[in-house]
Amino acid sequence: MSKNCRFAFAVHVAAVLALTPDQPCTSDWLAGSVNTNPVVIRRILSTLAKAGLVRSVRGSQGGAMLSRPPEAITLLEISRAVDDDEPVALHPQTPNPDCPVGASIVPVLREVITRADAARAAVLDQTRLSDVVAAIHRAGNCEAGPGGVPLFLL
């Protein structure tokens, strides 16, 4: 799976779990919501569990549940759980030092990437899973049914 998809899939999964706080969700069911293979979801759940964000419930009615309330989970935590800390690739070879651009481009790009990474981390750290859930509710696609269970689960 593409690195870019892991974060989106993980937030999607966490949002579903936040919307179903009293009902464990299976990887098969979550995969249907994300529209991907259950193996992909199991890998994401595994990394989220290692980070202490989800837990497994065993048994015939088992599945995954959030370990903490959505208000206590930041998107930065989710990002750090599923994204590699692999730096952005610059040049595979040293640029030509005799070229004015080649002589300066690597340190300039490093500075830009460092600032961009810091800005991204700040936004994700200020955004809680509960903010995502609230935005989903505002979009009007997640009305509650009987017992408060979201209609998409019925």
What structural domains and CATH numbers belong to the chain? Answer: 3-88+128-153 (1.10.10.10)
Pull the structure tokens for residue 73.
Answer: 């989970």
pLDDT digits (tens, 9 = 90+) for 95-136: 999 999 999 999 999 999 999 999 999 999 999 999 999 999
Pull the structure tokens for residue 54.
Answer: 């989800």
Q: Which amino acid is at 78?
A: I
Say how far apart CA 44 and CA 50 lie, in whole Å.
10
What is the average per-residue pLDDT within 29-43? 94
Q: How confident is the model at residue 51 (pLDDT cuts 50, 70, 90)?
A: very high
Q: What is the pLDDT of residue 60?
A: 83
Say how far apart CA 11 and CA 16 lie, in whole Å.
9
Report the SS3 class of residue 139: coil
pTM of the model: 0.84
125 contact partners, CB below 8 Å, separation of at least 6: 74, 75, 76
Q: What is the pLDDT of residue 108?
A: 94
Pull the structure tokens for residue 85.
Answer: 């800390």
Pull the structure tokens for residue 34.
Answer: 């994300």
- DSSP H or E run through 64: strand 63-66
Say how far apart CA 68 and CA 71 lie, in whole Å.
8
Q: Indicate whether 154 pLDDT > 50.
A: no
